[in-house]
Structure 1
Amino acid sequence: MINSQRLAQRFQALVKIDSLSRQERDVAMELEKILTAMGAIVSYDTAGKQVGGNCSNLVAKFKGNVDADPIFLCGHMDTVGPGKGIKVRFEDGIFRSDGTTILGADDKSALAIILEVMDVIFENKIDFPPVEIIFTICEEIGLLGAKHFDYSLIDSKFGYILDSTDTQGIVTKAPAANKITIKIYGKAAHSGAEPENGVNAIMVASKAISKLELGRMDEETTCNLGIIKGGIATNIVPDFVEIRGEARSHSVEKLKRVTDNIVNTFQTAAEKFKGDPDLPRIEAIVQNDFPNTNISEDHKAIKLARKAADNLGIDLASKTIGGGADANIFFGKGIVAGVLGTGMTDVHTLNESIAIKDMEASAKLVLEILKVHAAGEIS
Structure 2
Amino acid sequence: MNIQHTVKERFLKYVKFDTQSDHSSLTFPSTAKQKILGQELVKELLEMGITDASIDDFGYVIGTIPANTSKKVAVICFCSHMDTSPDCSGENVKPIVHKNYQGEDLVLPDDETVVLRLHEHPDLQAQIGNDIITASGTTLLGADNKAGIAEIMDAANFLMQNPHIKHGEIKVLFTPDEEIGRGVDHLDLKKLGADFGYTIDGETLGSFEDETFSADGMQVNIKGQSAHPGFAKGKMESAIKIAGEIIAALPKNRLSPESTADKEGFVHPVNISGQVEEALIDFIIRDFEDHKLHEHEKELKNICENVLKNYPNASVAYRISEQYRNMKQVIAQHPQVSAFALLAIERAGISPKKQSIRGGTDGSRLSFMGLPCPNLFAGEHAFHSKQEWVSVQDMEAAVRTIVNLAMIWEERA
Query: Fold conserved (TM > 0.5)?
Result: yes
Residue-by-residue CA offset, 1:307-337 (whole Å, 9 max, x unaligned): 2223333331211121111111011113211
Quote the residue 1:344 is aligned against: 380
**Contact 1:57 1:145 (8 Å CA) reproduced:** no
User: 1:94 deviation in Å?
Assistant: 1.4
What does 1:303-318 correspond to in 2, within 5 Å?
Answer: 303-318=339-354
What does 1:7-26 correspond to in 2, within 5 Å?
Answer: 7-21=7-21, 22=31, 23-26=33-36
2:295 pairs with 251, 257, 262, which one?
257
Mark the CA change 1:207 to 1:18 in structure 2 (over 3 Å): closer, same or farther.
closer
- What is the letter of the counterpart of residue 273 of structure 2? K
Mark the CA change 1:245 to 1:62 in structure 2 (over 3 Å): closer, same or farther.
same
2:327 pairs with 274, 293, 301, which one?
293
Residue-by-residue CA offset, 1:137-191 (whole Å, 9 max, x unaligned): 001112x022332212122221211111122110011111111111211122133
2:39 pairs with 29, 32, 56, which one?
29
1:195 pairs with 233, 238, 257, which one?
233
Instruction: Name the SS for the 1:156 alignment partner.
Output: coil
Mark the CA change 1:282 to 1:148 in structure 2 (over 3 Å): closer, same or farther.
farther
**Contact 1:163 1:341 (8 Å CA) reproduced:** yes
User: 1:86 deviation in Å?
Assistant: 0.9
Quote the residue 2:53 is aligned against: 42
Instruction: Name the SS for the 2:83 alignment partner.
Output: coil
Moved more, 291-300 or 105-114: 291-300
Instruction: Name the SS for the 1:195 alignment partner.
Output: coil
Residue-by-residue CA offset, 1:47-94 (whole Å, 9 max, x unaligned): x3xxxxxxx222112221123110000000001230011111112111
**Contact 2:218 2:320 (8 Å CA) reproduced:** yes
**Contact 1:28 1:58 (8 Å CA) reproduced:** yes
Mark the CA change 1:267 to 1:44 in structure 2 (over 3 Å): closer, same or farther.
farther
2:279 pairs with 241, 261, 282, which one?
241
Quote the residue 1:72 is aligned against: 77
* Alpha-carbon distance in 1 for matches of 2:368, 2:79: 16
1:284 pairs with 318, 332, 342, which one?
318
Quote the residue 1:140 is aligned against: 179
1:87 is the counterpart of 2:94:
yes
Quote the residue 1:224 is aligned against: 268
Quote the residue 2:108 is aligned against: none
**Contact 2:198 2:374 (8 Å CA) reproduced:** yes
Quote the residue 1:364 is aligned against: 400
1:104 pairs with 142, 155, 178, which one?
142
Quote the residue 1:52 is aligned against: none
Mark the CA change 1:297 to 1:285 in structure 2 (over 3 Å): closer, same or farther.
closer
- What is the letter of the counterpart of residue 84 of structure 1? E
Quote the residue 1:2 is aligned against: 3
* Alpha-carbon distance in 2 for matches of 1:270, 1:149: 43
Q: For structure 2, which runs of at least 5 residues remain unmatched after alignment?
A: 22-30, 100-130
- What is the letter of the counterpart of residue 349 of structure 2? G
User: 1:113 deviation in Å?
Assistant: 0.6
Mark the CA change 1:297 to 1:311 in structure 2 (over 3 Å): closer, same or farther.
farther
User: 1:37 deviation in Å?
Assistant: 2.0
Q: In percent, how many aligned pairs have the same letter? A: 25
Q: CA RMSD in A?
A: 2.0
**Contact 2:42 2:55 (8 Å CA) reproduced:** no
Instruction: Name the SS for the 1:9 alignment partner.
Output: helix
1:63 pairs with 66, 70, 81, which one?
66
Scaled by the length of structure 1, the TM-score of the pair is 0.88
* Alpha-carbon distance in 2 for matches of 1:132, 1:353: 28
Scaled by the length of structure 2, the TM-score of the pair is 0.81
Equivalences, count: 357
Moved more, 20-29 or 263-272: 263-272
Higher strand share: 1
2:201 pairs with 150, 159, 163, which one?
163
**Contact 1:179 1:287 (8 Å CA) reproduced:** yes
Q: For structure 1, which runs of at least 5 residues remain unmatched after alignment?
A: 49-55, 232-237
- What is the letter of the counterpart of residue 326 of structure 1? D
2:356 pairs with 303, 311, 320, which one?
320
1:330 is the counterpart of 2:341:
no
Instruction: Name the SS for the 1:262 alignment partner.
Output: helix
User: 1:211 deviation in Å?
Assistant: 4.2
1:153 pairs with 170, 191, 199, which one?
191
Instruction: Name the SS for the 2:184 alignment partner.
Output: helix
**Contact 2:287 2:293 (8 Å CA) reproduced:** yes
What does 1:200-215 correspond to in 2, within 5 Å?
Answer: 200-213=238-251, 214-215=255-256
